[in-house]
Structure 1
Amino acid sequence: MSKFFSTYKVIFYIINILLIILYLYPGSLLGWIIYDNKSIQPQITPDFVISSNHFYVFVLISIIGFLTFVNSKKIILLLLYLIFLSIMLEIFHLVIPERTFQWSDLFGNLLGVIVVILLNNFINKYGRFKK
């Protein structure tokens, strides 16, 4: 699987562009597509302390990023990029109409990235899973 993503890095870049578009759209683009109402945000699971949607999205994009750059020396750059992206996209909600900055969203973003970083460190420390 990691060979697939490292061969086709364009998938990671396309997913990043889609994420940025979804984050910066005034209102909910997915709510507009699914419910025909951009003020409704589709919810995968209920929020607890953090935003579950944001957590899931950043876990997914972080996993794809790590699989894309698994054998690259750019992994530190990827970590910095993911953390920067998770913070900046939420800060932009301060100025985007119909979007609001929320600490729970920011913590969901950051926790999604941190969980994948810790999982990656665990796998690197104790070896890769074998078939």
Structure 2
Amino acid sequence: MLKTSFHVINILLIIFYLYPGSILGCYFYNDCNIQPGLTKDFIISSNHFFVFLIFGLIAFIAFSKEKKIIMVYVFFISIFLEIMHFFIPIRAFEIKDLFGNLIGVIISLIIFNSFNFWRKKYGLF
């Protein structure tokens, strides 16, 4: 079930990232040029951070036995999708988006590793 969720989220993530414009902006504002924000951006893009935090957690939990492979994949996709914005009309590469992606993945990896450490050491969860 969790692996299926990961695959569905992965496909949706790719569609939303590679769409020229904002699918959510089209839906909520009738304007594909407006990107809705969950919170105000600070140094990094909060939308990108939250998306990759959740995506990373689901990936690491679903594929915990293939941790190295999934870790490489999640880091790769977080970088690749942002770099693709150089080539997609109406989209633009932004360093704060890339950092949001990467920090989301890093924090999800820290949470996953911490959870596994406490679970193994103290038999919790």
What TM-score do you get using the length of structure 1 for normalisation? 0.88
User: 1 or 2, which has the higher helix percentage?
Assistant: 2
1: CA distance, partners of 2:113 / 2:67: 12
SS of alignment partner, residue 127 of structure 1: helix
Q: CA RMSD in A?
A: 1.4
2: CA distance, partners of 1:122 / 1:12: 21
SS of alignment partner, residue 42 of structure 1: coil
SS of alignment partner, residue 92 of structure 2: coil
Select 1:48's aligned residue among 37, 42, 51. Answer: 42
Residue 77 of structure 2 corresponds to which residue in structure 1? 85
2: CA distance, partners of 1:27 / 1:118: 32
What TM-score do you get using the length of structure 2 for normalisation? 0.92
* 1:18-73 deviation digits (Å, cap 9, x = unpaired): 00000000011110011110001010000000000000000011111122113x2x
TM-superposed CA distance for 1:126, in Å, is 2.5
Residue 32 of structure 1 corresponds to which residue in structure 2? 26
| Percentage of identical aligned residues | 47
Gaps of 5+ in 2: none
Residue 68 of structure 2 corresponds to which residue in structure 1? 76
Q: Is the 8 A contact 2:118 2:124 kept in 1?
A: no
Residue 4 of structure 2 corresponds to which residue in structure 1? 10
What amino acid is the match of 2:92? T
How many corresponding residue pairs?
A: 123
